[in-house]
Structure 1
């Protein structure tokens, strides 16, 4: 259905729906069991849709775009909610809902993160500043009290989700862009993927690398995720492969 490259995909929390965001500026909603499109395309963005995320109840979708905006969508009615969320001054690379569904975090090429009220679309506080280059990935901790961000500056930063203040020093170790970050289900670890072709697993309490660098990919590692039980990590790379890792040992499965 899309007429451009597909840049982001997401399952609804109950697993019944899928969403996809594309370079054709649209978002499409699909039935997970049949693969059939179940709504008209969600239209409104004026540039590539780089990131999409479902709310915890599956009724809303957030999207970030190269048009510098975040948008909220009602995925039951198939329409945009309110006006675009404006504040970033460059492309929005990544969006994520808090576990309780009340907040959204966005990361941008303007080097900042922003927090938004998911009900009203209003900004919460000012921009979160500290990265010295584009913010490529953002993630809430499972408890919702922390945010992690990965950047072109090669660092990962942790933030207090309530105050927007940095927590500790930047997590350093990668020799390239940090493309993707993801929390373990219990929130005690964080995995990062980098253009240095490696993954690292960090202790979120100490900020220290506990496993890694994990080597195996032969090009940029673009995306990472923990399995729901926290035992495995999956990674996707420019080398056209997917790898599965034991989250405890760092060995490939």
Structure 2
């Protein structure tokens, strides 16, 4: 009873408040104290689940800063200093605590000389004076010396300075503006010059050109046409073609030449291309060297691919052995400029070579003899035989003058002209069972033609299209891989509609400005291409992802060819003058 009374008085006293224990609210206060006591006991039973009160961090909005001038402040950090509260000059940080000065610290005179682009000198020169001195040196080869103590010292070409009396660019008076000739009366058709009116006193002697000649090309002299044979200009144009056989004998003990398909290669060279699954090459197995300049393109021998034909910028075409000794078998000499493209006939007994000397020549692959010569007096960029067996005497040549010429080998005459492009023709590809062919040009368009009919049946031109200087046809003859100069390979259908396949775009390589030839693997699983950095890229056809790339050459990889009967052998050529064989 006493303990209960004591507990009640304590509770009343604790919760009575200002009114005291005998006030009217004493009963309520006592019950409130009991409730708080019960809550405290419950909190103690709950343990430490509640979070403790957080401490507030004091933030000093205006910390103390060093007000002393750093130029006059000498700070020598102690050895144990781990934090610096102000910016210390580098000279003070590198200053030794005791002993001589640091010999590795550059003096003040050399501070501005340690730059990536050269020396930096302190000068106070207005922009106008600098531009005047710069224009004088660029245009006349001399200018005032800004480091000279006297204002009349010059640097540069003294003879040109003496001829102009040391005048600066702004001090030389410009020549009087020439007066234009009158434009004439627009109603007079014959005498109206319009915006083409020249200047008084000028004399223009334009070369004569025929009515059907759109762009003037210098006529070839008789000496150049006949060829002097002295190895200078004119030799190799016509009549001086020859070939060199590199070997002991042209025939083996059975009387066979290198045209015979070898049977001891370990692979069926007469099989169907693409019948085996292809794999990516891993290592370099051979390097062919012989061209003195870059190699533009390479072509396998049709069918067996036991020979490799290469066209170089040195004006020579070389035939290489892919198996056995892998040496150069024959060199075809007949052009006095770089060879742009080569093309075999279906049986490989003949091939065409198109050169920058404006000549297209037909060669015998076995004997090395030049059979025929063709020219349009324009640079041919691509040549292509008609793949049909009954039309092996016809071939197409895409030239610089925006035309495609169709030649007949038997007569040597031009039998058809395809004139629709607005730029130089870069590629010719036969599609749709050789009834049609597709051409690309510098005018950033793709045109499809019926063979023998000079009318465009399909014209593809989009604002986002770029020039496509290299095109390859897949082995299943369904797709065209076009090397676009915006660093990507785009795919077009080779069927009737010739539509772009926007789901197939291959990116990653750099080819802007170069006609790097893309190619397909024989089973059409991979797409490959060289680039301007000397790398070879491989993409997966289904996913369009890069599956492999490696450094192949020191120059631009212009062409790459997958062996039709080998599962992982690839030949590449580059402007470094080499041809490499990978497996």
Aligned to 1:147: 395
- Please report how far the alpha carbon of residue 167 of structure 1 lies from its aligned counterpart in structure 2 after TM superposition: 2.1
Aligned to 2:516: none
State how many pairs are aligned. Answer: 223
Supply the distance in 1 between the matched residues of 2:410 and 2:328 (Cα, whole angstroms). Answer: 27
2:438 is aligned with 1:191: yes
1:232 pairs with one of 474, 479, 489: 479
Larger radius of gyration: 2
Aligned to 1:243: 490
8 Å contact kept, 1:231–1:248: no
2:386 is aligned with 1:138: no
Supply the distance in 2 between the matched residues of 1:15 and 1:227 (Cα, whole angstroms). Answer: 11
Structure 1 segments, 4+ long, off by >6 Å, are none
Q: Over aligned residue pairs, what C-alpha RMSD do you find? A: 2.2
Measured against aligned partners, the alpha-carbon deviations of 1:19-71 in whole angstroms (never above 9, x if no partner) come to: xxxxxxxxxxxxx6341456421111100000110111211111111001111
2:258 is aligned with 1:48: no
Looking at secondary structure, tell me which structure has more helix per residue: 2
2:452 is aligned with 1:205: yes
Supply the distance in 1 between the matched residues of 2:472 and 2:450 (Cα, whole angstroms). Answer: 16
- Please report how far the alpha carbon of residue 175 of structure 1 lies from its aligned counterpart in structure 2 after TM superposition: 0.9
Identify unmatched segments of 5+ residues in structure 2: 1-268, 502-583
Looking at secondary structure, tell me which structure has more strand per residue: 1
8 Å contact kept, 1:14–1:58: no
Supply the distance in 1 between the matched residues of 2:464 and 2:336 (Cα, whole angstroms). Answer: 34
Aligned to 1:20: none
1:59-138 residue pairs with structure 2 within 5 A? 59-77=306-324, 78-82=326-330, 84-125=331-372, 127-130=373-376, 132-138=377-383
- Please report how far the alpha carbon of residue 165 of structure 1 lies from its aligned counterpart in structure 2 after TM superposition: 2.7
Q: 1:14 to 1:231 in 2, by over 3 A?
A: closer
Measured against aligned partners, the alpha-carbon deviations of 1:216-240 in whole angstroms (never above 9, x if no partner) come to: 6532211123334444333111122
Q: 1:225 to 1:214 in 2, by over 3 A?
A: farther
Measured against aligned partners, the alpha-carbon deviations of 1:85-104 in whole angstroms (never above 9, x if no partner) come to: 11112110001111111111
- Please report how far the alpha carbon of residue 182 of structure 1 lies from its aligned counterpart in structure 2 after TM superposition: 1.3
Supply the distance in 2 between the matched residues of 1:221 and 1:67 (Cα, whole angstroms). Answer: 25
- What SS class does the counterpart of residue 384 from structure 2 fall into? strand
Worse-matched range after superposition: 200-209 or 218-227? 218-227
2:460 is aligned with 1:218: no
8 Å contact kept, 1:202–1:211: yes
Worse-matched range after superposition: 202-211 or 44-53? 202-211
Identify unmatched segments of 5+ residues in structure 1: 1-11, 17-31
- What SS class does the counterpart of residue 305 from structure 2 fall into? coil
Aligned to 2:421: 174
- TM-score between both structures, scaled by the size of structure 1: 0.80
Aligned to 1:7: none
8 Å contact kept, 1:62–1:96: no
- Please report how far the alpha carbon of residue 146 of structure 1 lies from its aligned counterpart in structure 2 after TM superposition: 2.0
8 Å contact kept, 1:197–1:217: no
Supply the distance in 2 between the matched residues of 1:40 and 1:226 (Cα, whole angstroms). Answer: 27
- Please report how far the alpha carbon of residue 139 of structure 1 lies from its aligned counterpart in structure 2 after TM superposition: 1.3
